[in-house]
Copies of this chain bind each other. A is one copy, B any other.
Amino acid sequence: MPVNFIPTPRESLLPVQGISLGVAEANIKKAGRKDLLVIAIEDDAAVAAVFTQNRFCAAPVIIAREHLASGKPIRALVINTGNANAGTGEEGLSRARAVCRELSALIACTPTQVLPFSTGVIMEPLPVEKITAGLPWCVNHLGKGDWFDAAQAIMTTDIVPKAFSKQVSIAGQTATITGIAKGSGMIHPNMATMLGFIATDAAIAPDALQAMLRHAVAHSFNCITVDGDTSTNDACVLIATGQGGARVSSASGDDYAALRDAVTEVAANLAQAIVRDGEGATKFITIHIEGGKSEAECRTIAYAIAHSPLVKTAFFASDPNLGRILAAIGYAGIDDLDVSKVQLYLGDVLVAEKGGRAASYREQEGQRVMKESEIVVRVVLNRGAACATVWTCDFSYDYVKINAEYRS
Which residues of chain B are within 8 angstroms of A190 by Cβ–Cβ distance?
331
Asked, given contacts A54-B330, A309-B309, A400-B313, whether A324 binds B407 with beta carbons under 8 Å apart, the answer is: no
Give the number of copies in the complex. 2
User: Once the chains bind, are A90 and B355 in contact (CB under 8 Å)?
Assistant: yes
Sample 6 A-B pairs with CB under 8 A, ordered by A number.
A87-B357, A88-B357, A230-B330, A309-B309, A317-B403, A319-B406
Q: How far is the CB of A128 from chain B (nearest CB, A)?
A: 15
Which residues of chain B are within 8 angstroms of A354 by Cβ–Cβ distance?
89-90
User: Once the chains bind, are B55 and A322 in contact (CB under 8 Å)?
Assistant: no
The 0/1 profile, CB within 8 Å of B marked 1, for residues 31-69 of chain A is 000000000000000000000011111000000000000
Asked, given contacts A55-B339, A310-B185, A319-B408, whether A327 binds B232 with beta carbons under 8 Å apart, the answer is: yes
- Bound-state Cα–Cα, A355 to B327, Å: 38
Which residues of chain B are within 8 angstroms of A86 by Cβ–Cβ distance?
323, 326-327
Which residues of chain B are within 8 angstroms of A90 by Cβ–Cβ distance?
354-356
Interface size on A, residues (CB 8 A): 70
A227, closest chain B residue (CB): B309
User: Once the chains bind, are B232 and A326 in contact (CB under 8 Å)?
Assistant: yes
| A interface, CB within 8 angstroms of B | 53-57, 84, 86-92, 121-125, 185-186, 188, 190, 227-232, 307-310, 313-314, 316-317, 319, 321-324, 326-332, 334-335, 337, 339-340, 352, 354-357, 395-397, 399-401, 403-408
Asked, given contacts A229-B331, A317-B405, A331-B54, whether A87 binds B326 with beta carbons under 8 Å apart, the answer is: yes
Which residues of chain B are within 8 angstroms of A317 by Cβ–Cβ distance?
403-405, 408
Q: Which of A321, A328, A331 has the most CB of B within 10 A?
A: A331
Which residues of chain B are within 8 angstroms of A307 by Cβ–Cβ distance?
228
User: Once the chains bind, are A321 and B407 in contact (CB under 8 Å)?
Assistant: yes
User: Once the chains bind, are B406 and A321 in contact (CB under 8 Å)?
Assistant: yes
Which residues of chain B are within 8 angstroms of A322 by Cβ–Cβ distance?
123
Asked, given contacts A89-B354, A186-B327, A307-B228, whether A400 binds B407 with beta carbons under 8 Å apart, the answer is: no
A308, closest chain B residue (CB): B229
User: Once the chains bind, are B407 and A89 in contact (CB under 8 Å)?
Assistant: no
Q: How far is the CB of A187 from chain B (nearest CB, A)?
A: 10
A402, closest chain B residue (CB): B313
- Bound-state Cα–Cα, A273 to B400, Å: 24
User: Once the chains bind, are A355 and B87 in contact (CB under 8 Å)?
Assistant: yes
- Bound-state Cα–Cα, A226 to B56, Å: 25
User: Once the chains bind, are B228 and A123 in contact (CB under 8 Å)?
Assistant: no
Q: Give the 7 A-B residue pairs with the shortest CB-CB distance, closest first.
A: A122-B323, A89-B356, A56-B330, A317-B404, A123-B323, A230-B331, A313-B403
